[in-house]
Structure 1
């Protein structure tokens, strides 16, 4: 049977309009729809939160990498510009929370300067004179030498020697005068016979001449005489000791020099005494 298109359309319309084909919603359909909408909304929030956390993690990791690169660059620049820091080993990279990185780059501790003098530099270098490597050691203070007047040696003056008797003096052509005796000694003036100046001598009966006192200001072979300072005497004769009227210094094995001093501490006279003096 042939059915026209219009008739077919009318039948379909009538079929779809039949109430028996409609589906009536249940009593709880509205609550189910609302609950489903809420579930979809929560899923959307969860997805958005997870996406935000993932993005934050990506940003933190990227920032950590940037800070680390900048810290390495700054350490490299500091090592290149400071020879002192260049000797320090680079600080090891430490892993930790982002807050530790954001505190700023760590500072490199500086080594304290070395104590004492720099290498090759002596703290108290010796005094050098002359050519390279020549050194000088401190010498004794130079004394002012006295060379004027007669020379008084450890054995006597001129031809007059310690231990000579009065007969030996006259046998040498010396003239004896102004004799004075006291106890076992004789005191007199002696001149001539090879003497550079007149001398007052003390002659012991057992030891001969035991004391010589020149009339003129004499000096010793070491250059100590009238005008020399007390320090000059001690420098020339380190073994000198204080005496009753000045300083006493060893002259030889059997004699001593006696230096009388002025109130200013200068030598006024030089005399020779035997260690066997008994006058």
Structure 2
């Protein structure tokens, strides 16, 4: 039986228009469809969140594994906040020598000050004693020169001394030498002098504190004398220092230093 296309189309249209084929939806169909859509949406969001967390865990685990790997190889360890937490040098794997345990450095949550050594205040140094060369020179009192005292000069006779406005008194005569008290305008201060009959004036001992051209005088220490006169020699209770080719200083000392200075000729026949 052949049916034309128009007839077939007509019959199909009639079939689809038959009300017996309609299936009316139940009253709660709309609510069920909305609820199902919401459940599918929640499941989709849940799956996406779980997938994101899993990806983050995998990334963190991989990062920690790489950090641990680099730490064991001797590279710097990085904390979670990006700061360096120390470095581990390569282990010494020499035969017969076990690897030394490493000391963990401070983590990112520790304070940097906790690992720093406590500051210690420097211990005070005891004051150093000044060297003899740095002590002040003595310039008090009149000058006791290397050749005499004022106008009194070594080698003068009694007549020469009198011509220099110096008076000799308190005579203490000896066999070859005489002790006098010398005073007058020719001397800066009174002094005890010794005049030899053969060598003239051989000793001058001022009665006041004096000083030498090298800055040695009353209160100077033995070390200062030795510093000023390297060729000086120590004697009992005194130090003898050269004052030139023909004279020498004799410094008498006590616990305070120099207490008396005399100028003495090296060529004499009298007691100094």
Give the TM-score normalised by the residue count of structure 1.
Answer: 0.51
Comparing 157-166 with 186-195, greater Cα deviation is found at 186-195
Structure 1, unpaired ranges of 5+: 1-69, 92-105, 111-137
Q: How far did residue 83 of structure 1 move?
A: 8.1
Q: How far did residue 146 of structure 1 move?
A: 2.1
In structure 2, what is the Cα distance between the partners aligned to 1:142 and 1:270?
22
The aligned residue for residue 223 of structure 2 is 231
Q: How far did residue 194 of structure 1 move?
A: 2.3
Once the two structures are superposed, residues 126-165 of structure 1 have per-residue CA deviations (whole angstroms, 9 ceiling, x without a partner) of xxxxxxxxxxxx9864223222211101111111111111
Once the two structures are superposed, residues 162-191 of structure 1 have per-residue CA deviations (whole angstroms, 9 ceiling, x without a partner) of 111111111222212222221211221222
Give the TM-score normalised by the residue count of structure 2.
Answer: 0.52
Once the two structures are superposed, residues 81-118 of structure 1 have per-residue CA deviations (whole angstroms, 9 ceiling, x without a partner) of 68895xx8xx9xxxxxxxxxxxxxx969x9xxxxxxxx
Q: How far did residue 219 of structure 1 move?
A: 1.4
Aligned partner of residue 135 in structure 2, secondary structure:
coil
In structure 2, the CA distance between the partners of 1:205 and 1:143, relative to structure 1 (3 Å rule), is same
The aligned residue for residue 269 of structure 1 is 260
Q: How far did residue 244 of structure 1 move?
A: 3.1
In structure 2, the CA distance between the partners of 1:84 and 1:139, relative to structure 1 (3 Å rule), is farther
Q: Are the counterparts in 1 of residues 147 and 153 from structure 2 also a CA contact under 8 Å?
A: yes
In structure 2, the CA distance between the partners of 1:175 and 1:140, relative to structure 1 (3 Å rule), is closer
The aligned residue for residue 170 of structure 2 is 178
Count how many residue pairs are aligned between Structure 1 and Structure 2. 168
In structure 2, the CA distance between the partners of 1:177 and 1:83, relative to structure 1 (3 Å rule), is same
The aligned residue for residue 209 of structure 2 is 217
Q: Are the counterparts in 2 of residues 144 and 228 from structure 1 also a CA contact under 8 Å?
A: no
Matched, 1:157 2:149: yes
In structure 2, what is the Cα distance between the partners aligned to 1:243 and 1:174?
32
Once the two structures are superposed, residues 24-45 of structure 1 have per-residue CA deviations (whole angstroms, 9 ceiling, x without a partner) of xxxxxxxxxxxxxxxxxxxxxx
Structure 2, unpaired ranges of 5+: 1-65, 78-85, 103-129
* RMSD (Å) for aligned C-alpha atoms: 3.4
The aligned residue for residue 181 of structure 2 is 189
Q: Which structure would you say has the larger Rg? A: 1
Matched, 1:78 2:74: yes
In structure 2, what is the Cα distance between the partners aligned to 1:230 and 1:187?
28
Q: How far did residue 251 of structure 1 move?
A: 1.5
In structure 2, the CA distance between the partners of 1:164 and 1:84, relative to structure 1 (3 Å rule), is farther
Aligned partner of residue 232 in structure 1, secondary structure:
helix
In structure 2, what is the Cα distance between the partners aligned to 1:167 and 1:247?
32
